[in-house]
A and B are shown apart, each in its own frame.
Chain A
């Protein structure tokens, strides 16, 4: 326990002044980098927070002797998060991760007042002086799983259980249908919004409703194994969207992709350790160092479909295939992307319209 007396206070004040003079602090030789992570939900949610946790676990494994990770989970209130971000920073955590978009707004405000720490937030709009943001191109994953769904559907009806109609979810489901239509133009996608990030029982009901409407491949955004288990119970395929649930969904998970944030965590820690950290805005999909990774497929997935997915994956990585390449029409049949054009990243990130063939509504639409 550091005793707060005049001498110590003056010493630390002088040290702070010195640090402030030289910009962001660097580590002394042999000192461990203290990393802080705040989860708004429980790490054990098997979904979003779980994959966030996998990232700092990878970080610990990468630098077992150089980093020390402090994890706070289940901090549901954003006000508590703000207090704890401050606390972590004043305790000397030089690298601090936010795990949700909700925390981004707080960090945008807090980061300038806490110049001794480097902040990284998963999901965010733009970077600040000591705040970097990173997010995955979910649509590259859903486009590929859409190919599998389009090939495997017999009813030509796919189902999507959405959490909330935010752009991230909207572009994911749009790309899912575009992927499916790239191999099967007759496919339609029915959408049901749960209007909850976590309500497993409701997700199960939503799957039942979609199956009753004829959907025979189910995907979605609230990523717990519930949807897959519910689909399996109904005897239809499910897709592990942003999470591989084959450990739970034993027989009917068709294909899956995961969000893997390890690269973001490891790169940030490397940067801070070397003193070369830069605030950046990373939006990455498939490929080496990317945030989207294709994972297990069902043994029942035909080899030619798997090959088709692999070809598309290679083309996306090579940059020759863009899921949002025109011509694309919206639900009303209005052309949104002309033939030969691709939708700019900014418009994908802010997407508020559904592509032709989606059966469902958006708020205010």
Chain B
């Protein structure tokens, strides 16, 4: 048991950035917008959050700043891809390149500085609660807030009218437009939300996970988030599980290596990807259902005048 508790904790820590980024991207894609710029938005979010948290000493200001910074990038993406109807894949890739470079540029003065924030302080008043208080102080608030985000996303998509409207826009923007939904505005909001969540994911990486900024910090996690959404067949619960599966497999392979289990380390490094793909493909192996779950207008620009 003493072996598994550290793995469990580490899994929570490793899976959290993916939960944020993937759930944000899921909302964006359910509205029919394919944002491939998550990686770049995470990098920019990570730098901005680190810079703000370091100068103000306040984690939450950092997270907020990351949401704003990544939100601005996703706004730029929206203007190009939604208003001007440019190719979403191309604009998304451009955002990744731009966001990554912007992050390196902004991050220059902060390289190698260490951020020391007291996690129990971040939990604030919650740590004083009876019974669950110790849990709140042991697990970083950004971790349990991600559970709240999952619940909110799930509830929003499956139980609210606004969620239904969002899904309608993703399935058939023309029909949604015809019955009076503001397709463009909904897509903007969904993309902004996705961007802001990528910002939180980046903020988590630099302020909580690594507690520092260096180039290469995000190391492709934005792409993992985009892939997770696809393999999770655009379902929030599968996305959530997939993020932890990936995080858990990453941790398990490192623990297995240090425990001296004799499996080649390259194979072990590939394990998280393999495990996530295999499991998610298995649970969504019904091809017909799979086709149905793809938002029908994903990646297709919509012209309200056309």
Task: Report chain A residues within 8 Å CB of B250.
Answer: 202, 205
Task: Report chain A residues within 8 Å CB of B14.
Answer: 201, 205
Interface: B3 (CB within 8 A): yes
Q: Select one of A165, A190, A249 contacting B265, CB under 8 A.
A: A165
A224 to B215, CA, bound (A): 10
Is B251 touching A247 in the complex (CB atoms < 8 A)? no
Contacting chain A: which of B76-84, B181-189, B233-241, B252-260?
B252-260
- Say how far B272's CB is from chain A's closest CB, in angstroms: 10
Contacting chain A: which of B30-38, B126-134, B148-156, B206-214?
B206-214
Is B10 touching A45 in the complex (CB atoms < 8 A)? no
Is B215 touching A45 in the complex (CB atoms < 8 A)? yes
Interface: A196 (CB within 8 A): yes
Is B258 touching A193 in the complex (CB atoms < 8 A)? no
Is B264 touching A159 in the complex (CB atoms < 8 A)? no
Contacting chain B: which of A7-15, A24-32, A357-365?
A357-365
Within B145-187, which residues are at the interface with A (CB < 8 Å)?
none
Is B212 touching A248 in the complex (CB atoms < 8 A)? yes
Task: Report chain B residues within 8 Å CB of A74.
Answer: 104
Is A248 touching B260 in the complex (CB atoms < 8 A)? no
Task: Report chain A residues within 8 Å CB of B217.
Answer: 200-201
23 contacts between A and B (CB under 8 A): A44-B107, A44-B111, A45-B111, A45-B215, A46-B111, A74-B104, A192-B257, A192-B265, A193-B266, A195-B265, A198-B215, A199-B216, A200-B212, A205-B10, A206-B254, A206-B257, A213-B255, A213-B258, A225-B114, A226-B212, A233-B211, A360-B257, A363-B266
Is A46 touching B112 in the complex (CB atoms < 8 A)? yes
A202 to B254, CA, bound (A): 9
Interface: B289 (CB within 8 A): no
Number of interface residues of B (CB under 8 A): 39
Is B258 touching A226 in the complex (CB atoms < 8 A)? no
User: Hey, which bits of chain A sit against chain B, CB under 8 A?
Assistant: 41-42, 44-46, 74, 159, 165, 190-196, 198-202, 204-206, 208-210, 212-213, 215, 224-226, 229, 233, 247-249, 359-361, 363-364
A200-B214 contact in complex given A213-B259, A361-B264, C-beta closer than 8 Å:
yes
Task: Report chain A residues within 8 Å CB of B292.
Answer: none
A194 to B269, CA, bound (A): 8
Task: Report chain B residues within 8 Å CB of A209.
Answer: 6, 10, 251, 254-255, 257-258
* Chain A to chain B: the 7 pairs with minimum beta-carbon distance, closest first: A198-B216, A193-B265, A209-B254, A44-B111, A195-B269, A359-B260, A212-B6
Interface: B85 (CB within 8 A): no
Mark B108-146 against chain A: 1 for CB-CB distance below 8 A, else 0.
Answer: 100111100000000000000000000000000000000
Is B251 touching A248 in the complex (CB atoms < 8 A)? no
Is A198 touching B264 in the complex (CB atoms < 8 A)? no
Is A159 touching B215 in the complex (CB atoms < 8 A)? no
Task: Report chain B residues within 8 Å CB of A196.
Answer: 219
Taking A42-B215, A192-B257, A199-B219 as given, write out 15 further A-B residue pairs in contact, using a Cβ cutoff of 8 Å, ordered by the A residue number: A44-B112, A45-B111, A190-B258, A190-B260, A199-B216, A205-B14, A206-B254, A206-B257, A209-B257, A226-B210, A233-B211, A248-B112, A360-B257, A360-B260, A361-B264
A360 to B250, CA, bound (A): 17
Interface: B1 (CB within 8 A): no
Interface: B282 (CB within 8 A): no
Is A212 touching B215 in the complex (CB atoms < 8 A)? no
- Say how far B109's CB is from chain A's closest CB, in angstroms: 9
A46 to B111, CA, bound (A): 7
- Say how far A184's CB is from chain B's closest CB, in angstroms: 20
Is B114 touching A45 in the complex (CB atoms < 8 A)? no
- Say how far B125's CB is from chain A's closest CB, in angstroms: 25
Mark B10-23 against chain A: 1 for CB-CB distance below 8 A, else 0.
Answer: 10011000000000
Give A222's nearest chain B residue, CB to CB: B216
Task: Report chain A residues within 8 Å CB of B214.
Answer: 44-46, 198, 200, 224, 226
Is B215 touching A41 in the complex (CB atoms < 8 A)? yes
Q: Select one of A42, A159, A204, A363 contacting B210, CB under 8 A.
A: A204
Give B7's nearest chain A residue, CB to CB: A212
Give B108's nearest chain A residue, CB to CB: A44
- Say how far A247's CB is from chain B's closest CB, in angstroms: 7
Is B205 touching A201 in the complex (CB atoms < 8 A)? yes
A159 to B6, CA, bound (A): 17
